[in-house]
Structure 1
Amino acid sequence: MAGCHVRTLTDAPVHFAKVRDMADQLPHALRSDALDNRDRILDAARRLFSTEGLKVPMREIARGAGVGPATLYRRFPTKQALVAAVFADQVRECRAIVEEGCSDPDPWHGFCLLIEKTCEMHARDRGFTEAFLTAYPGATEIAEERAFAMKAVGELAQRAMESGRLRPDFVLDDILLMLMGNCGIRVASPAAQVAAARRFAAYVIQAFEARPQQAPLSAPVRLTSPAAMG
């Protein structure tokens, strides 16, 4: 009949080729979506851990990432797994700081460098400080890093003490005390937070020194308004 198209076998390869193309593209699209979801989850968790600490609920993290709870748990079955992924960069940075301080030929200079950089790093992320101080259950990478750092700092402190620069009554728990104090700094912006941590570190170094040289402090940081002080 005129105008009537009769489907032939030659149509099938074209149709099947299109289906194959779509099937080949689908896994890539799914992988791309999964990676986007993972990045959004990590960004949201990093932001919330930094401002609110590790007690923030998983549902709030999912909401902040714009994904459903099921998607969050599919990527990170436990909160411990999420914590480990979020702080992977900080764990590496922490180790680098410790290794740099310990490799300094002048143990007191290396000890001071470690104090300064540690305070600054922890000032940028409240969540990592909390995980480091409490040895967050199940986050084995952070627990291992804490054990490595404390052992290495203890050895560095012993050398600094033998050089006569570190006060003889220093104990390793003073480092944890320092981190607790540094964690209590609360200011309006990340830049001010780091600046305040640097000034705090300068005070700490003078307190740790056997014969304080009264080195100049970094610039002061406005923490409260004059009205609040009054």
Structure 2
Amino acid sequence: MTGQVTHPLRSDARDDRERILDAARALFAAEGLHVPMREVARRAGVGPATLYRRFPTKQELVTEAFADQLRACRVIVDEGLAHPDPWRGFCLVVERTCELQARHPGFTEAFMAAYPNAMDFAAARAYSLRSVGELARRAQRAGGLRPDFVLGDLILMIMANRGIGAASTAARVAASRRFAALVIQAFRASPERVPLPPVPRLGPASPG
């Protein structure tokens, strides 16, 4: 019997790969997905040839850099759908989506744009929007979500949350939590005063 044998990466090759992915995530968060591949290689401390050997295209690099976030996004949506109270499930999606976005700002651009030719992103976005649409209809029928809510409102929320600038990831997450709480109150069918998270100290945006 014949077949192709796959070998695990050597430790130095694994280290190169992780440095490349770390550098890519940092640069995508700070400068957007248009950052040149050579800049990723420079930040990672590897040569362009090493980068292209590991990731022949920008599409492959982006997809691999945010593979964990794609999976996390699906988990968030699935947990929201599975919640016995559709309104609480909807709130869970809002809260965790905002936090995921705050922790990984580069991911939002790839996800929202369905990064060109990256089928993983396009499929994940289509699944998420379809599932959140179903969850929203359940929450409206249950009386928790305002009846005039449309999916475009969720897109507006994501776009606004992406614009939060802060001096650190912790501050960005804190601001995002307060923003999510405000959004949930706006989406609620019946106004209800609930305590908001603390106001964070915001400053110049930083990828850290």
Q: Which residue of 2 aligns with 1:122?
A: 101
Kindly report which structure 2 residues correspond to 1:90-129, keeping only aligned pairs within 5 A, or say none: 90-129=69-108
Kindly report which structure 2 residues correspond to 1:19-58, keeping only aligned pairs within 5 A, or say none: 31-58=10-37
What is the Cα deviation at residue 222 of structure 1? 1.9
- Pairing 1:217–2:192 present: no
Q: Which residue of 2 aligns with 1:202?
A: 181
What is the Cα deviation at residue 33 of structure 1? 2.3
| SS of structure 1 residue aligned to 2:10 | helix
Kindly report which structure 2 residues correspond to 1:109-188, keeping only aligned pairs within 5 A, or say none: 109-188=88-167
- Pairing 1:190–2:162 present: no
Structure index of larger Rg: 1
| SS of structure 2 residue aligned to 1:92 | helix
Structure 1: state its 5+ residue gaps: 1-26, 226-230
Distance 2:156 2:119 in 1: 22
Distance 1:165 1:88 in 2: 33
What is the Cα deviation at residue 85 of structure 1? 0.4
What is the Cα deviation at residue 32 of structure 1? 2.6
Letter paired with 2:182: Y
Distance 2:139 2:26 in 1: 37
Distance 1:93 1:153 in 2: 15
What is the Cα deviation at residue 224 of structure 1? 5.0
Taking every aligned residue pair, what percent have the same amino acid on both sides? 64
Structure 2: state its 5+ residue gaps: 1-6
- Name the count of aligned residue pairs: 198
Distance 1:87 1:44 in 2: 12
What is the Cα deviation at residue 138 of structure 1? 1.7
CA contact (8 A) 2:167 2:203 kept: no
Q: Which residue of 2 aligns with 1:61?
A: 40
| SS of structure 1 residue aligned to 2:189 | coil
What is the Cα deviation at residue 178 of structure 1? 0.5
C-alpha root-mean-square deviation of aligned residues, in Å? 1.5
Distance 1:138 1:35 in 2: 26
Distance 1:122 1:183 in 2: 7
CA contact (8 A) 2:114 2:122 kept: yes
CA contact (8 A) 1:165 1:209 kept: yes
Letter paired with 1:185: I
Letter paired with 1:190: T
CA contact (8 A) 1:84 1:141 kept: yes
What is the Cα deviation at residue 108 of structure 1? 0.3
What is the Cα deviation at residue 31 of structure 1? 2.6
CA contact (8 A) 1:50 1:124 kept: no
